[in-house]
Amino acid sequence: MFENLTERLNNVFTQLRRRGKLSAADVDTAMREVRLALLEADVNYGVVKDFVARLRERSVGAEVSKALNPAQMVIKIVNEELINTLGAPDKLNLTGARPFVLMLVGLQGSGKTTAAGKLARQLRSHGERVLLVAADPYRPAAVKQLETLGEKLNVPVYFEPGVKPPDLALRALDKAQKGGNTVLILDTAGRSQLDEALMDELTSIGKKVHPVETLLVVDSMTGQEAVNIAKGFREAIPLTGLILTKMDGDARGGAAISIRSVTGVPIKFIGTGEALDALEVYDPGRLASRILGMGDVLGLIEKAEAAFDQEQAQKDAERLLAGEFSLEDFANQLRQVRKMGPIAQVLEMLPGGMGQLARQVDPKDAEDQLKMTEAIINSMTPKERRRPDVLNASRRRRIASGSGTQVQDVNRLIKQYYEAQRLFKNIKKSGMRGLPRMFG
C-alpha cells in the first residue's frame, strides 16, 4: 500500500545523505518534498500541515545541527514524528465479566464479516472460546458467509431466522454464558451509507449486550472517505477502536496515517490480506518502519514462528550447515515459507535493499516460480529427492513431463541445489566469514 510513499520519502533521504551539513534551505527543500509525498498518499491536509511543522521545527534545531550525521538525525526525527502521528498502540480490552462482547460495525463492503472471522481465529489461538453471531439478516448471503468462515475455523456461529438483531444479540449472549464461551463477536449489519436506521439498531444492540469493544471496520483503500466514515460513526455511537482492512491493496495509504489524528479513535488491528491469518495487532512503530522502507523484522519473526515448527527448524538448520540437506528437505522448507504469505510481502518486511527488491518483483512470477520448484520436486521419487546424483537424462525428462515443466527447468533446480550445498559446507568450515560469499 505504501509503495509510492516509501519511494518518495527514500528519495528525500537519499538527497539528505549526500550533504555533510544541512542548511535551513536543505531542510526546507526536504520538508517540501515530504509534504508533497504525504499529500499524494492521500493523507489529510491538516495532518500533513501539523506533521511537517513539527518536523521542520526539530530539523533546524540543536539536535540536528550538533549531530555527527545530520541526515540520519532527520530520518530519526521523521520516524519518531510518524509514530506520533500514527498514535499509540491500544490493545483489545478483555477485562471484566465474561463473556466479553465485541461488536463489529461498519458499512457494507468494508470487510466486516471477514474481519470477524480473522478476529475469532486470533482470539481462539490465545485460548479464548469464541462464539460468532450473524447479526446481519439484511445482506444476501451474509449469514452463510459467516457460517462458512465458522466451519473453516471450527468456531460455532449463532443465528435465528426472523429475530431482530438486538434480540438476537441478547439471546446469543445468554447462549454464550450457558455454553462457557469467553468471547462473543457480533457481526452487525452494514449499509451502503451512514443512515439513522443503522445507528439506531447499533445503539439498541449496545444497550442490550454492553460490548467491551465496539470496533469500526474501515476499508483503508477508500482513502479520505474512510476518515469521514470513522467520524460519522464516532459521532453516533461510542467507538472504542478501528480495524483497517485491505492494507495489502494498491491504494495510497493516507487513511492509515490520518485516521487516528482526525478521529481520536485508536487503531487496534490491520488486515493485510484475504487469508484468515492476515490480521495484525496494530503497532505504529512497525508500520512507520514499513512506510520508511526500514522493513518489519519483528513482524517477519512472528510470521515465521507461526509457520515453522521450531524443533524441526533447528534440525533442518543443522543439516543445512552440514551440507546434508536433501531436495526433500528443500521442498519442506518451501512449504513452510509459503505458509508465511506471498513472497513479495515477506521480502517487504526485510530491512534495507530486500524491501526495495520486493517492489521490483512481480508477485505472480515469484509465486509461480515457487510452485514450479515444488512441482518438480514432487515429481521425483523419494530416492531421487534424497540422492539427486541418480538423476540421469531419462529421469530428468520424466520429471519435467510429470511436473509440466521443461528439462532446462529441472537442470536449473539441480544446479542451484548443488551450489547451495557447496555454499553451506563452506560457511560451516569458515564460520561467519563465509557469509559474504553467499551474497557475493
DSSP helix/strand/coil, 279: strand
Nearest to 120, CA basis, from 177, 175, 214, 183: 183
Please report how the helices 165-179 and 196-209 are oriented relative to each other, as an axis angle in degrees rounded to 10.
Answer: 30
Measure the CA–CA gap between 310 and 258, rounded to whole angstroms.
Answer: 39
Contact 380, 392 (CB under 8 A): no
- The answer to whether residue 302 scores a pLDDT higher than 60 is no
Give domain 3-86's CATH architecture. Up-down Bundle (1.20)
Which tens digits make up the pLDDT trace of 306-335? 555 656 666 666 666 565 677 877 777 777
Residue 237, all three cell numbers:
455511537
For range 10-26, the mean pLDDT: 78
Give domain 300-438's CATH architecture. Orthogonal Bundle (1.10)
| Predicted TM-score (pTM) above 0.85 | no
Measure the CA–CA gap between 438 and 440, rounded to whole angstroms.
Answer: 6
HEC string of 144-198? HHHHHHHHHHCCCEECCCCCCHHHHHHHHHHHHHHHCCCEEEEEECCCCCCCHHH
Which tens digits make up the pLDDT trace of 173-186? 999 999 999 999 99
Which residues of the chain form CATH 3.40.50.300? 100-294
Contacts of 117 (CB under 8 A, 6+ apart): 132, 146, 149, 150, 152, 153, 155, 276
Given this model, what pLDDT does residue 435 score?
A: 43
Mean pLDDT value across the chain: 82
- The answer to whether residue 299 scores a pLDDT higher than 50 is yes
Per CATH, the number for 100-294 is 3.40.50.300
Which residues of the chain form CATH 1.10.260.30? 300-438
Question: Which is more confidently placed, 185 or 424?
Answer: 185
Question: Could you please report the per-residue DSSP string of 368-405?
Answer: HHHHHHHHHHHTS-HHHHH-GGG--HHHHHHHHHHHT-
Give strand pairing partners of 214.
103
Which residues of the chain form CATH 1.20.120.140? 3-86
Which tens digits make up the pLDDT trace of 107-143? 888 899 999 999 999 999 999 999 999 999 988 789 9
Which tens digits make up the pLDDT trace of 68-79? 577 778 888 888
* Gap between the terminal Cα atoms of the chain: 31
Centre a 10 Å sphere on the Cβ of residue 280 and count the other Cβ atoms it contains: 21
- The answer to whether residue 167 scores a pLDDT higher than 70 is yes
